[in-house]
Amino acid sequence: MQLPFAKIFRIYNSILRSRVFWVLILFSNLPVQVLAQNRNAPREFREEISALIEKVMEEENIKGISLGFIGPDNINWTTGMGYASLDENISAGPFTVYPVASITKTFTNLAILQLKEEGKLNLADPYVKHVPEFSINTRFDETPPLTINHLLGHYGGIPRDIYKGLMTTDPAARPDIQEYFSNHYLIFPPGIKYSYSNPGVELLGLLIERVSGMKYEDYLKKHILQPLQMQETRFEKGDFEDHRLAKAYVHFEDGEHKELPVLLRASGGLFSTVKDMTRAMEWILKGVSPGPELSHELVKEMFNDQKTENALDVSFESGWSWVLERYPDPVKGVYAYQMGSTLHYNSVMAVMPEHQIGVVIMCNTGGVLSNIVNLARGIALFGVQFFEKQPIEFPEPEINLEIAELEPDRKTIENIKGDYLLESDLVRVFSVMGDLVVRMQDELFRVFYQGNGWFAIDPFISFSNIIFDDHKVLVINQGGNIFPAGMDVSHNYILPPNFHQLQGSYYLENVDPFNEEVFYQKARLFKDGWLQKIELVLGTEQQKIFGYQSATYNMVPKSTTEMIFAGFGMYKGETIFVYEEDQGHRLMFSGLEFFKPKTKEVQ
């Protein structure tokens, strides 16, 4: 579902009012300690949290939730609510098994840090030092080497996903990751922009194998999972008894759904329980023994912001696999979390190191990831309030309703003008009767100059631009949060001579719907004014889960056979390839292949 640009601004505004991003301060050193006798959370705390979970489950029709909570003074509480299986009347609990998806990344990164501490690699090493056959194309004149640290922090400029073979019963259906990259492009030069990437972490799994001489799964089991005594955490769901596996559901109906196997390994292959995950959080937070051979000082570095000095996303913070949020007084600490999601399962693991609080939530209901993420945050913040006897109130940010209007010089005005192409919108900055205005979604907004190249639309939103790869990039400042939005295409948007032949509907060809998940069943190229766009129609099960049928994105043509996704959204900078064949045209994207016959266009 695409939202108007102005509405996105307002939504992001509301997010900022509840989630404050700020500069990371390392928490104090904690001595390694032997695992002490755990105690349950106080009854009052358990009652409050249980009531909160029940409310969310009822509102969103979530079938089952398992919860693990770590608190100060050796508090360790695990529980479950709802059902692991409705038909079999099996309750969800601490030992219910779920796929944890991207939470796997935390353990992959711990393995990399362990190899670093053993002196077998350096995080600043170019990736090709250890995997010399790796290659990926680039469109950028200056492309620094892709390092291990870039991959750990999702700053490698690697494409987001390979949908072909991601969820399938046929392991051979998944493309070889090395071959895929050799035919693809970087979406950004390494170090420029945070870009979450499953394939990027799969490269780390391959790196672990090369450096250790062991199969990735074997290394993780021997050196990370077994030392953590995570006996119920494995890579194959067939290793568990069927009644322990949470069945798959969606939030708007009660019938059981089919979940195909996920073929990810290092980026999302683990199955686990909240009982095991609380054990991992306890070690991460407190350095308790037993645990992997890895210094706690290095573990704490996972919560360092990994941005480089020239990164475009100024306000966003991320550690090694963790998204970081900063809270001011009275919380005063970092909130770090990692989400995991398949079609029907959602999970989140979050820690607040300064407060010795950790939360892990797993659920078996698709379409509710944002609810689970917000629930974990609410539980963690309530834990700070409850155990530290400190009421938490976040005041509304003070906004100066008076915009001081300065007089920009001619050069400043000319510099900010442009047609900035976003993921699904176009922002045009131009002059009308001597006044600078912004046009978004056919609405005009007067612009006020604030100085230093910044212009205001209203008291909470201002914008400027910077130069990246010889293009002007629109940068938004919304309540102190600064982020890139889109590139100026006013002088370099050229449709290829064959673009008329490329338009039309392309139908998915290289996926067997009986054995593999259909993420997108159709792609439609069409021209909207002077812009090339693509509509991606979701698969049937995807439509059920997410509640919409298709999404439309702006494209930037690069040649007669290549175009990239515009803006800085979900598919930012990824390439779509379109080739002419004897019988028609073939469109390829993220490992998927779509075909449009020449003979006739099917509407």
pLDDT-derived band at 141 (thresholds 50, 70, 90) equals confident
* Residue 97 near residue 232 (C-beta atoms within 8 A): yes
Report pLDDT digits (tens) over 233-245: 999 887 777 778 9
pLDDT of residue 60: 94
What φ, ψ does residue 190 adopt, rounded to 5°?
Answer: -55, 135
pLDDT of residue 17: 35
Q: Is 324 helix (H, G, I), strand (E, B) or coil?
A: strand
d(CA 314, CA 477): 10
Summary mean pLDDT of the chain: 89
Pick left, alpha or beta for residue 339 (phi over 0 → left; psi -120 to 50 → alpha; otherwise beta): beta
d(CA 188, CA 195): 9
pLDDT-derived band at 127 (thresholds 50, 70, 90) equals very high
* Residue 496 near residue 560 (C-beta atoms within 8 A): yes
What φ, ψ does residue 340 adopt, rounded to 5°?
Answer: -140, 135
* Residue 482 near residue 475 (C-beta atoms within 8 A): yes
Which of 102, 104, 60, 57 shows the shortest CA–CA distance to 79? 57
pLDDT of residue 25: 22
Tokens of 525: 């190229």
pLDDT of residue 225: 97
d(CA 523, CA 532): 13
In 213-293, which ranges are continuous DSSP H helix? 216-220, 274-286
Q: Is 353 helix (H, G, I), strand (E, B) or coil?
A: helix
Report pLDDT digits (tens) over 160-206: 999 998 999 988 888 888 899 999 999 999 999 999 999 999 999 99
- The DSSP output letter for 221 is I
Report pLDDT digits (tens) over 446-497: 899 989 999 998 888 899 999 998 899 999 998 888 999 999 999 889 999 9
Cα dihedral across residues 276, 277, 282, 288: positive or negative? positive
d(CA 146, CA 189): 8
* Residue 76 near residue 172 (C-beta atoms within 8 A): no
Between the alpha carbon of residue 420 and those of residues 282, 334, 424, 443, 554, the distances in Å are 47, 34, 11, 15, 11
Which of 66, 65, 90, 64 shows the shortest CA–CA distance to 77? 66
Strands 418-421 and 426-432: antiparallel
DSSP codes, 35-98: PPPPBPPPHHHHHHHHHHHHHHHHHHT--EEEEEEEETTTEEEEEEEEEEETTTTEEP-TT-BE
